[in-house]
Structure 1
């Protein structure tokens, strides 16, 4: 088949482009670095963006309307939220020791306003535009920001905006009870339908009894918002460090690292890792300390390795900590982590949605968990709805063909990984490809297959849509990247394939962190592929042509 051709213009999204699309195409090895570093030459060309990266694109009209209503100067920026927790999160982030000196805000530079737009109360964080990088993390890491659809709806009420007399600053107590009471958002029928669909998927092809009910499923506006809500809720009853296993998404890493309990990381996913974890737990126990929970991705992003969850379950029972599994990469249809997880978090933005036009995250509490009686009341009393009803409706529509799409994603990713594996070393000693990172080609395959769902007449589980490839040199990786006709940008689970030099994008401006991530397998020469729904032949022919360019650099 002929290789894929990309006609998407720079800065635009995968077709069909619209006001709520969440991908952007930024070809060029050095260009994504410019995006990461806030290069205005790159940002000015973007016409679409992953909404959690910034509110100033699809939601910009609402942001501008708030800016005008509040009478802010051109040197001031703002971030709008529905949850008043954003005020204390802004304080924690903006004044943190982790902010660079030039980005860290003085307490008097952070301001808080409240605006009613119809029946919805909006909490606005105001800051000096010059120090936007010192605040934007609460939009990116915590994921609480208003969605593009909600922004669109609130903009209709621009003429009815009412600024409340209450104002706050960074040096004040702005916790719950100190600010005007929130309205949150009304749930619609789609919220309940989504919970029922998720429960049905958990019960589908499950060898054991699944006790999860609709009330055990909580929805959030993004995957990171789900992780943040989980972190806060568990932290209320288990205030202690979070232990992270293996490679995890960089926003999750930053969230835990900068949190009140801190982070303990075991990065090398091998047979000895669980033993090292047990040694650590023994020391903590002997000194009267505990861990809040153990967090991992199954499999991990972007290395695609799988922790031995069954052995970890034994440690959790012995030392009394909950296991939190992010199953976004494996996905509900392929893996069943409920028998070993106390809590499951997922980014439903990815393959569950599949069409790159809506965001959502879910938290699932396991009623069979020994920790359920302790954490469940905290969740039900502190988690309020900030997931907009039109987003829920769109996600419900998108996920109706989840199993059908997942079959294709599994097939395509396996075919592409198999091709790369056959063209890698040692099969071809001069190949620029040194390693294929996809569950069947990793040393942790047995850990993954131990939790795969059984096949049924209508679906055969697989390994998901994400894979990564290690190249021998950065020159070869760059040559392949520049030559391959896939969309270039972040996201996974979409209907068309994307590729990204992911590790360089997220860690490249922090040499210490980049070196550490490389030590556990997240190399700068690595490319991450999020495979789509194209024909297998098109995918293979597309990478064949690019591989020739990489081989020419060896």
Structure 2
């Protein structure tokens, strides 16, 4: 991938990109310090940490239109998620920040004929309105939970609001009739899907809505045609979600076009657990939202108990377990010694809701002993939740040891770095399966935006074949780094005896060790020079079809580097997510960066 300038989206010119370019070590530090030369240059950012400009634009309009003077807004897909945010603010924010706390729930104007074709999409937006002092608390909820709206939903709903087709729910007649149209919709929506649009300016603020005279009024028709018809056939939305669920369940294993009838389905699932079907897969707007809602389902099914975070966690998983419920016990190394200590606590009578772990973990790629964890869970009555995002189900089968398997579909399942998504999979042979299904029947709401589902389905069609190349490339890069005297340590499941043994228990026939690795250099200055010179994309996220490098600990744990170091995570660690490039070319890129470090050292010595 060619050089991407500071603050530009990764991939470049992509309106809904998941990453942003931070091309030097200095720019990563400056980002964490909030320096304007970096922050002011950013066209986008990782969606749970950077509020997309399309979302900001819609939030400003909603706050100005429906709020009180000085109000700000945080946007969610429906009333339920907005109310959870309000509950969090009331529980965590000082009383002074809770003044004028309000909400507005915007839905399609069902009395307008122009809205009728869009009813199958359920394009709703709920805004939590608050004074500026409450912003940081609303942002905490938004970031930890992953409940916020997607940028595609924001763009689409902003346009509907501008056309007068999105209105406060309370303003509609209570018994407003909902005209049911055939799912296929008007002919103008039946167009092939396009590739992702390039970045455009943020939507304009809403002006007074134009008058509409019927379903084909010029303004409404033009908006729907330009923003909607080009991208999406309404009839494909549920089929796309079905295809995604079947791919995750392992019952759809071929590369198919969802427009074809019928969708092929293989039985039984190749996930190695009898009885697993697509109906055991739940889709969410992003991976962290899958974890957040899995925790909620467990609390609903099993009652209020502490959880266990086992292993060095991705940032917000630990925050979810600490802030939403009775708390958690944290084991940061996921070692056998940690399991020994947990077993002592269990024998002494402590009881837990569930154990949450990653397999492998981010960023040190350690793999906990799932077989022993399963044995303890069965003996002492707690659920096991495994995040398989990094290993991926094309390489590993962790469902055999888990009650719930969660994943960020944003990563290698998509690969294109232009859409968010997440999933939770229930083990039909698990002890808590019936209770979790009942809780899901009560509580699960599908808030995954239609356009996002369409993009994710299309991106994931060749998932299985991409994994093979990524596995091979990652091993080749490991070999390059391990051979360099500049490198102190390479974290990769294959090259850590204890982790490899635990990984191999779960590795599927023909599977590999994944596309993520981390490197620690002997000197911080060497890590900095290597990062500045590596000719890959450089920014947050992983699992992209192209190689992307990040000084992960700087970005994820800048304010707690000593804490990370105490758990064996080097502050200067470089995380490398390996892509689909030609192996020889990729090896040359890494060798060139290592040579730049050697040249810099030679010049400094001279």
The equivalent position to 1:8 in structure 2, one of 4, 22, 45, is 4
- Relative contact order higher in (CA < 8 Å, ≥ 6 apart): 1
The equivalent position to 1:241 in structure 2, one of 302, 306, 311, is 306
In structure 2, distance between residues paired with 1:393 and 1:530: 25
* 8 Å Cα contact 1:12-1:25 kept in structure 2: yes
1:353 aligns with 2:403: no
The equivalent position to 1:48 in structure 2, one of 44, 51, 58, is 44
* 8 Å Cα contact 2:67-2:129 kept in structure 1: no
Larger Rg belongs to:
2
Two-structure CA RMSD over aligned residues (Å): 2.5
The equivalent position to 1:150 in structure 2, one of 138, 148, 153, is 153
The equivalent position to 2:294 in structure 1, one of 230, 236, 261, is 230
* 8 Å Cα contact 1:117-1:154 kept in structure 2: no
Name the residue aligned to 1:454.
509
In structure 2, distance between residues paired with 1:36 and 1:111: 32
Name the residue aligned to 1:481.
531
**1:209/1:133 CA distance change after superposition, 3 Å:** closer
**1:462/1:109 CA distance change after superposition, 3 Å:** farther
Name the residue aligned to 2:547.
497
Matches of residues 87-102 of structure 1 in structure 2 within 5 Å? 87-91=82-86, 93-94=88-89
Name the residue aligned to 2:491.
437
1:163 aligns with 2:168: yes
What SS is found at the alignment partner of 1:521?
A: coil
1:133 aligns with 2:106: no
* 8 Å Cα contact 2:103-2:126 kept in structure 1: yes
Matches of residues 316-465 of structure 1 in structure 2 within 5 Å? 316-423=377-484, 431-443=485-497, 444-455=499-510, 461-465=511-515
Name the residue aligned to 2:343.
278
Name the residue aligned to 1:427.
none
Question: Residue by residue, what CA displacement relative to the aligned partner does 1:437-486 show, whole Å, maximum 9, x if unpaired?
Answer: 0111113111001100012xxxxx11111111112232222121112122
Q: Which segment drifts farther, 352-361 or 270-279?
A: 270-279
* 8 Å Cα contact 1:190-1:392 kept in structure 2: yes
- Once the two structures are TM-superposed, the CA of residue 91 in structure 1 deviates from its matched residue by 4.2
Question: Residue by residue, what CA displacement relative to the aligned partner does 1:3-39 show, whole Å, maximum 9, x if unpaired?
Answer: xx63322212234532222121112213223333444
Name the residue aligned to 1:111.
102
Could you tell me which runs of 5 or more consecutive residues in structure 1 were left unpaired when the two chains were aligned. 167-184, 424-430, 456-460
Could you tell me which runs of 5 or more consecutive residues in structure 2 were left unpaired when the two chains were aligned. 110-121, 172-233, 253-266
The equivalent position to 2:64 in structure 1, one of 68, 79, 82, is 68
1:220 aligns with 2:220: no
Question: Residue by residue, what CA displacement relative to the aligned partner does 1:300-353 show, whole Å, maximum 9, x if unpaired?
Answer: 000101001111111111101111000000001000011111110000110000
Aligned length: 508
Could you state the TM-score of these two structures normalised by the residue count of structure 2?
A: 0.79
In structure 1, distance between residues paired with 2:104 and 2:34: 26
The equivalent position to 1:268 in structure 2, one of 328, 333, 345, is 333
- Once the two structures are TM-superposed, the CA of residue 244 in structure 1 deviates from its matched residue by 1.0
**1:205/1:223 CA distance change after superposition, 3 Å:** same
Name the residue aligned to 2:209.
none
* 8 Å Cα contact 2:86-2:128 kept in structure 1: no
Could you state the TM-score of these two structures normalised by the residue count of structure 1?
A: 0.86
- Once the two structures are TM-superposed, the CA of residue 90 in structure 1 deviates from its matched residue by 2.8
Question: Residue by residue, what CA displacement relative to the aligned partner does 1:218-256 show, whole Å, maximum 9, x if unpaired?
Answer: 000000111111111111122111101111110111111
What SS is found at the alignment partner of 1:255?
A: helix
Name the residue aligned to 1:123.
126
The equivalent position to 2:72 in structure 1, one of 47, 71, 77, is 77
What SS is found at the alignment partner of 1:135?
A: helix
1:538 aligns with 2:538: no
* 8 Å Cα contact 1:87-1:125 kept in structure 2: yes
Question: Residue by residue, what CA displacement relative to the aligned partner does 1:157-193 show, whole Å, maximum 9, x if unpaired?
Answer: 1132323569xxxxxxxxxxxxxxxxxx996221112
Which structure features the higher share of helix residues? 2
* 8 Å Cα contact 2:287-2:407 kept in structure 1: yes
**1:162/1:28 CA distance change after superposition, 3 Å:** same
Matches of residues 179-218 of structure 1 in structure 2 within 5 Å? 188-200=238-250, 206=270, 208-218=272-282
Name the residue aligned to 1:306.
367
* 8 Å Cα contact 2:11-2:19 kept in structure 1: no
In structure 2, distance between residues paired with 1:96 and 1:441: 45
* 8 Å Cα contact 2:55-2:75 kept in structure 1: no
Name the residue aligned to 2:18.
22
**1:111/1:540 CA distance change after superposition, 3 Å:** same
In structure 2, distance between residues paired with 1:197 and 1:207: 10
Question: Residue by residue, what CA displacement relative to the aligned partner does 1:389-441 show, whole Å, maximum 9, x if unpaired?
Answer: 22111111111010111111111111111211122xxxxxxx33111001111
* 8 Å Cα contact 1:54-1:140 kept in structure 2: no
